[in-house]
Structure 1
Amino acid sequence: MKILGISGSPKKEGNTSYLVKKALEEAEKLGFETEFISLAGLELNPCIACEMCKKGENCIIIDDIEDIVDAMEKADGIILGSPVYFGGVSSQLKMIMDRSRSLRANQKLKNKVGAAISVGASRNGGQETTIRQIHDYMHIQSMIVVADEFPTAHYGGTGWGSKPGDCKNDEFGTMTAQNVGKKVAEVLKLINK
């Protein structure tokens, strides 16, 4: 089984990428194959509401999103990470969410296990609202949404850092991200017995 981690940060080696990779490392410890995708530097374009995906046709926009949507469809579990941008996800991750509409039309993500990670500039930097936005997306896609667990009991992985590398010193954020990766793996094992 495979767990896909996507960093929605425009910084290739930023804090969000660091925490998503930490989550994937925990899944690997439990025997899972993992794949990491950074949206940094990719050609991503917004949905233009052409409705082709609703007709069962391929998206008319040619960019890097098609490969990412394909990877999401093939994965058994998905961890989406985003820095906090005005209390929500980055525009890069939002484009993936919007452009994966074809997966919703065909229920391609139904019953896949999903989780969220978010990084804010401070401890109260909008991580929970960003995670809630990712969870809402996953619920709409009919995914099984998991979160961090006791003793930290957050919505998901919640890190903080205002410049690249800050999360390497954020023990709490790293722990919550690791818990998320472990939880996705554990739930996948339970439902695939």
Structure 2
Amino acid sequence: MKKILIISSSPRKNGNSELLVKEFANGALEKGNQVETIYLREKQYSFCRGCLACQKIKHCVIDDDAVEIASKMHDSDIIVFATPVYYYSVSGQLKTMLDRANPLFGTDYKFNDIYILATAAENGTGTFDGVEKAIQGWVDCFERAKISGTVFAGGVNDINDIKGNEILKQAYELGKTV
């Protein structure tokens, strides 16, 4: 059994990204894994101040929800980042959380496998590239970590556009492989 943490960064409740998350989680749960999903829209967290105090004290000096989220990231076997594509990159909510996870750098974190779930209105070639690059930049700071799988659903803009889409099955199947 693996401990899986899903960080969902969509501001829309029950949106396309969230439906992708639910399918991935269902697949992972079917395999007997422990799954926790954090919805960043329900959390209060600020931007990183760049003070780097976290590198000395191993936690952030800003007392908000990002401290607990980073702690859960540290102790998870697998981290799944779910995001809508905003201007060919991750949502601002996810970027802020990635920055706030800086206290994990230089620690004996548990995670190795990182998965990405993304949705976008556009379905063109390259729509997902910026998302993957942004998350890969974060992953590259953690020697043992790697991106182990991705699911991209393009052409889904309005809530429920993703319903009935084969990509949901792909997310479910990927969840079963972890």
Equivalence for 1:17: 18
How far does residue 57 in structure 1 lie from its aligned partner after superposition?
Answer: 4.6
Q: Residue 169 in 1 paired to residue 169 in 2?
A: no
Structure 1, residues 85-113: CA drift from partner, whole Å, max 9, x if none?
A: 1110011101110011110122425x521
Give the fraction of aligned pairs with identical amino acids, expressed as a percent: 29
Q: TM-score, normalised by structure 2?
A: 0.89
Q: Give the Cα separation in 2 of the matches to 1:95 and 1:77.
A: 20
Q: State the aligned residue count.
A: 174
Point out where structure 1 has 5 or more consecutive residues left out of the alignment.
Answer: 148-155, 186-193
Q: Residue 182 in 1 paired to residue 176 in 2?
A: yes
Cα RMSD over matched residues?
1.8
Equivalence for 1:117: 117
Q: TM-score, normalised by structure 1?
A: 0.82
Q: Is the 8 A contact 2:58 2:104 kept in 1?
A: no
Q: Give the Cα separation in 1 of the matches to 2:75 and 2:108.
A: 13
Give the AA of the match of 1:119: T
Secondary structure of 1:146's match? strand
Q: Is the 8 A contact 1:12 1:41 kept in 2?
A: no
Equivalence for 1:56: 57
How far does residue 170 in structure 1 lie from its aligned partner after superposition?
Answer: 2.0
The one of the two structures with greater contact order (alpha-carbon pairs below 8 A, sep at least 6) is: 2
Aligned counterparts, 1:44-193, within 5 A: 44-109=45-110, 112-124=112-124, 126-142=127-143, 143-147=145-149, 156-160=150-154, 161-171=156-166, 173-183=167-177, 185=178
Would you tell me which structure has more helix in proportion to its own residues?
1
Give the AA of the match of 2:66: I
How far does residue 42 in structure 1 lie from its aligned partner after superposition?
Answer: 1.9
